[in-house]
Structure 1
Amino acid sequence: MPSIQCRLWRLALRLVRRKQRFASAQALHEEIRRRRKTGRAAPSPRFLARHEVSVEPVAGVEVYTVRPRGIDSGRRILYLHGGGYVFDIVSQHWDFIGKLVDGLGATVIVPIYPLAPEHTHREVFAGLLPLYDQLVQSRPPASLTVMGDSAGGGMALALAQLARDSGRPLPGRLVLLSPFLDASGDNPGIDALEPLDPMLSKPGGIECGRVYAGGDPITLPQVSPIHGGLQGLPPVTLFIGTHDILLPDCRAFRALAQQQGLPLRYYEAEGMFHVWMLLPMPESELAFAQIIAAVEADEGAQRHPPGLAPRPVQADSVARAGE
């Protein structure tokens, strides 16, 4: 049964009509205009006191580097925030990034990439690829995790595919949190989940993909990375909830991973909604422990919480929330 906190979050999302912001293309653009006025969230004073934070431009993109003030494990995470490719980073992202720094002793690199509809995937990857090159050339690529939530999860997979296709060194692993893998909205399983999802709606998601594509085919792998081929990619860990309209595409990805030999740890959390792992509730603590374990697992680390260490699994395995 979902926790009280989870039920309260679900109620709050419905009360603020979060889903209505994605109900149509018009509603999405109205929300984009509103959010442009408020701007992006910056790291809080508490965040800045707890971590060492620096900011510098890389290929025209503002990049935050967040380091632990204590022991540095040498791990690095390139974190790509969500927001449908159209919305800025929010405070919940910074809270989660701080937890990653503390939980792993890792340095987390956070690019503030350009947003659609003012920009497209072309400008995004024109900035991300030089940053990626810096990261894989400065230290062993195996120490790098590329992680993202929602649209950032799709972007993380697309970045790894571009690195593979261009002959660049690959990161050690990918961690995808409620990833946006197919911007077409064509999966027939999506409609059945619309009444269950308290955050996302299909029309707005399609519009996000359309403006991000900037006139290119929506099936272009940089926009819909489920079409980019999975052979030769590093191990992937994927988290998705059963009350998320992105679930059918994640299940399709799981099937493709099995067919194409991609090492995949797949976590399907019963009753969870979009990017629940970024919110304060018991279910997100479980997911966070599994995320920590996934980053450490490929290094042979043994610091898993009791009962939470995921074993290497085949792509058709499912880990339910609470296991």
Structure 2
Amino acid sequence: MPSIQCDLWRLALRLVRRKQRFSSAQALHEEIRRRRKIGRANPTARLLARHAVSMEPVAGVEVYTVRPRGNDSGRQILYLHGGGYVFDIVSQHWDFIGKLVDALGATVTVPIYPLAPEHTHREVFAGLLPLYDQLVRGNPPVSLTVMGDSAGGGMALALAQVARDTGRALPGRLVLLSPFLDATGSNPAIDVLEPLDPMLSKLGGIECGRVYAGGDPVTLAQVSPIYGSLRGLPPVTLFIGTHDVLLPDCRAYRALAQEQGLPLRYYEYEGMFHVWMLLPMPESNAAFAQIVAAVQADEAPQRPAEARAGQGATAGYQPM
């Protein structure tokens, strides 16, 4: 049973008509124009007070680094924010990043990557790959976690696939939060979930993928990583809710992981909507504890008997 806080967030999202902004291609572009006028959220005052925050451009991309002022664990996180590839980072992302630094003593690297439709996946990866190379040169790759929410989750998986295919060192693990894995919107089970999801709509998601692809097929693995091979990738931890239109694609990904031998911890939270783990509620606290455990895990993933579910979640492990 979802918490009262979850129900209140769901009500708030419906009252502000959040889902309507993704209801069609036209509605999405109207929202893009509105959000461009607002601009992105900068690191919050709370984050600046608690942690050491710096910014340095890498390959033309502004890259923020958030470090603990003490108790540095040596862990590194490359965090890729969500927003359908078309929207800027928001304050909830910065709050979540601060929690990661607090809980893990980790250094979190946050690229402010270029957005569609003004830019495409080609420009995004032209900036991400030099940054990734810089991170793996400066630290043991096993200490690096690549993490992302929504579109950033899909981008995290695609980045690992590109790293593997180009002979780069792989990160120690991937953590995917409500990841956008298939920009085609072709899974028929999505239509069943449409009325339940208070945030996302299929047509807006398809348009996000189309403009991010920039004329390339949306089935390109760099845009829809579910169409790329999962073999040889590092262990993955994935979180999704049962009231998220992206659930069918995450379930399809779970089946592919089993077929292709990808080690996967899969957490499916009953009644949760898109990227709930970034909002204050008991369910997000439960998921956050599992996220921390995933980052702290050794290179070798847990055996099936050791995998655990959190509050309102079912967990599964796909062995190698």
Q: Supply the distance in 1 between the matched residues of 2:85 and 2:299 (Cα, whole angstroms).
A: 31
2:311 maps to: 321
Alignment of 1:69-108 (within 5 A): 69-108=69-108
Contact 1:264/1:313, CA 8 A, preserved across alignment: no
- Amino acid in structure 2 at the alignment position of 1:274: H
Q: Supply the distance in 1 between the matched residues of 2:137 and 2:237 (Cα, whole angstroms).
A: 24
Contact 1:269/1:319, CA 8 A, preserved across alignment: no
Q: Secondary structure at the match of 1:114?
A: coil
- Contiguous gaps of at least 5 residues in structure 1: 301-309
1:145 maps to: 145
1:172 maps to: 172
Q: Secondary structure at the match of 2:67?
A: strand
Q: Supply the distance in 1 between the matched residues of 2:309 and 2:21 (Cα, whole angstroms).
A: 31
Q: Supply the distance in 2 between the matched residues of 1:186 and 1:319 (Cα, whole angstroms).
A: 29
The Cα of 1:45 is off from its aligned counterpart by 1.5
Q: Supply the distance in 2 between the matched residues of 1:34 and 1:268 (Cα, whole angstroms).
A: 33
The Cα of 1:311 is off from its aligned counterpart by 4.6
The Cα of 1:321 is off from its aligned counterpart by 3.5
The Cα of 1:299 is off from its aligned counterpart by 5.2
Q: Supply the distance in 1 between the matched residues of 2:311 and 2:183 (Cα, whole angstroms).
A: 26
1:31 maps to: 31
1:213 maps to: 213
After the TM superposition, list the runs of 4 or more consecutive aligned residues in structure 1 that deviate by more than 6 angstroms: none
The Cα of 1:47 is off from its aligned counterpart by 1.1
1:307 maps to: none
1:239 maps to: 239
Contact 1:87/1:115, CA 8 A, preserved across alignment: yes
Contact 1:82/1:153, CA 8 A, preserved across alignment: yes
1:55 maps to: 55
Structure 1 residues 320 and 268 mapped into 2: Cα distance closer, same or farther (>3 Å)?
Answer: farther
Q: Secondary structure at the match of 1:26?
A: helix
Q: Supply the distance in 1 between the matched residues of 2:171 and 2:303 (Cα, whole angstroms).
A: 18
2:318 maps to: none
- Contiguous gaps of at least 5 residues in structure 2: 314-320
Between 108-117 and 45-54, report the one with greater CA deviation.
Answer: 45-54
Q: Supply the distance in 1 between the matched residues of 2:104 and 2:44 (Cα, whole angstroms).
A: 20
2:286 maps to: 286
Contact 1:150/1:180, CA 8 A, preserved across alignment: yes
Q: What is the CA deviation profile of residues 189-235 of structure 1, one whole-angstrom value per residue up to 9, with x for unaligned ones?
A: 10000000000000000000000000000100000000011000000
Q: Supply the distance in 1 between the matched residues of 2:303 and 2:52 (Cα, whole angstroms).
A: 34
Contact 1:212/1:223, CA 8 A, preserved across alignment: yes
The Cα of 1:318 is off from its aligned counterpart by 8.6
After TM superposition, the score normalised by the length of structure 1 is: 0.94
Contact 2:54/2:65, CA 8 A, preserved across alignment: yes
Q: Supply the distance in 1 between the matched residues of 2:272 and 2:245 (Cα, whole angstroms).
A: 11
- Amino acid in structure 2 at the alignment position of 1:253: Y
Q: Secondary structure at the match of 1:169?
A: coil
Alignment of 1:255-266 (within 5 A): 255-266=255-266
- Amino acid in structure 2 at the alignment position of 1:222: Q
The RMSD of aligned alpha carbons is 1.4
- Amino acid in structure 2 at the alignment position of 1:202: K
The Cα of 1:73 is off from its aligned counterpart by 0.1
Q: Supply the distance in 1 between the matched residues of 2:125 and 2:117 (Cα, whole angstroms).
A: 15
Structure 1 residues 312 and 238 mapped into 2: Cα distance closer, same or farther (>3 Å)?
Answer: farther
Q: Secondary structure at the match of 1:244?
A: coil
The Cα of 1:319 is off from its aligned counterpart by 3.6
- Amino acid in structure 2 at the alignment position of 1:252: A
Contact 1:174/1:237, CA 8 A, preserved across alignment: yes
Contact 1:270/1:320, CA 8 A, preserved across alignment: no
- Amino acid in structure 2 at the alignment position of 1:66: V
- Amino acid in structure 2 at the alignment position of 1:173: R
Identity over aligned residues, as a percent? 85
Q: Supply the distance in 2 between the matched residues of 1:322 and 1:9 (Cα, whole angstroms).
A: 17
Q: Secondary structure at the match of 1:63?
A: strand
Q: Supply the distance in 1 between the matched residues of 2:205 and 2:198 (Cα, whole angstroms).
A: 14
- Amino acid in structure 1 at the alignment position of 2:145: T
